[in-house]
Structure 1
Amino acid sequence: MRDGLLQTSPTLNYKGQALTIDKLVIDTGASHTLLSTDAVANIGVYFETGDEIVTAFGIGGEESCFRKTIDSIQLGSFQIYDYKLDIGSLHEKLQINGLLGLDVLMGANIVLDLAELVMYSTTK
């Protein structure tokens, strides 16, 4: 728990490069995971011709994003392979690098233990 928000630090692998993203808010109210373009630029994740354009909706309104297939996402000991994530701009005042949404949480069978402030996968 940081700044009153549940946060995690998954590791992404994209085209042979790994990146751990800090300040990713665990958001069970978000249907899709959204990563900041600034947070993933260092490993070459950027918009390219042919990327799907999607619209993210939230309390702050709507934002155009692009969808990119990431080679793998690691959450603790669990990994998801060849997964599409939404990439877009986040308001600077938020001071976070994105939202970990239900798409990844449910895809990894994540259990959130709020009493202990831990999460784990039930997938073996």
Structure 2
Amino acid sequence: MIYETGDFIYEAYGIGGSVPFYTKIMDRVEIGKRSIENIEIDVGILPKDHKGLLGLDILKQHSFIIDLKTLELRT
């Protein structure tokens, strides 16, 4: 994902300050065996060891279950 002219830049605020991000529509995202099509995602700066973050909005909308004892994500 790359920023394109015309993409609106938002700003997220937290304890450590703020970080800019923009949104994009992805054709498809695969999470485990589940495939989600035409999904809007936020694109921003993450630490180098992060590949991405799943938001609670996506997890709830698609009925994922987080097992905190085993650190597993289930459908």
TM-score range, shorter chain: 0.7 to 0.9
TM-score calculated relative to the size of structure 2: 0.80
Higher RCO (CA < 8 A, seq sep 6+): 1
Q: Which has the higher helix share?
A: 1
Q: Deviations over 1:35-91 (max 9, x none)?
A: xxxxxxxxxx10112323221222321111111111111111112111111111234
For structure 2, the residue ranges without an aligned partner over 5 or more in a row are none
Percentage of matched positions with identical amino acids: 36
TM-score calculated relative to the size of structure 1: 0.53
Which of 37, 52, 62 in structure 2 is aligned with 1:108? 62
Which of 23, 34, 53 in structure 2 is aligned with 1:99? 53
Aligned residue pair count: 75
For structure 1, the residue ranges without an aligned partner over 5 or more in a row are 1-44
User: 1:33 — aligned with what?
Assistant: none
> CA RMSD of the aligned region, Å?
1.7
Q: 2:59 aligns to what SS in structure 1?
A: helix
Q: Using a 3 Å threshold, how does the CA distance of structure 1 residues 109 and 65 change in structure 2: closer, same or farther? A: same
Kindly provide the amino acid, as one letter, of the partner of residue 47 in structure 1. Y
